[in-house]
Amino acid sequence: MIKKCNDTNCNICKPIRLPLHTFENIEFLPDPVLSNSNTDCYKKFETVYRTDTTEQFRSTLMAAMESTERAPAAVLTNTKVRDIIQCFQCGKFQCLYSEKALTVIQKSQFQLVIDE
């Protein structure tokens, strides 16, 4: 569901412009849900508003999943984890894998990218 977080330190949401009491009474916008009768279309807004939805049918997520290339299981082992980073958007932690240990130059280049 979509709604600004109203966190002053958030890097994604801009500050709210509504009076606070109005903002707090606004319902979340629902995620898209595929129609039962036609899987090429989404349900009407009125039918999903004020209901619990998931991100399962979010178009950008579906497109990303289709174009994602799965890595072989042998690559994704704990001995090949070189670093862990936290996503600034969702807060999830991600493991960064490498077949070989990074050189000193690669480590410094990697740190420059992370710091930006």
Residues 10-38: tens digit of each pLDDT:
877 778 888 888 888 887 777 777 777 77
Question: Does pLDDT of 99 surpass 80?
Answer: yes
Rounded to two decimals, the pTM is 0.36
Residue percentage of the chain with pLDDT more than 70: 78
Residue by residue, DSSP assigns 65-83 as HHHPPPPPTTTS-GGGEEE
Higher pLDDT, 73 or 21: 21
Backbone angles phi and psi of 46, in degrees to 5: -60, -30
How is the chain split among helix, strand and coil, in percent rounded to 5?
Answer: 30, 15, 60
Query: According to the model, what pLDDT value does residue 58 have?
Result: 67
The Cα–Cα gap between 9 and 28 comes to 21
Structure tokens at 58: 């979010």
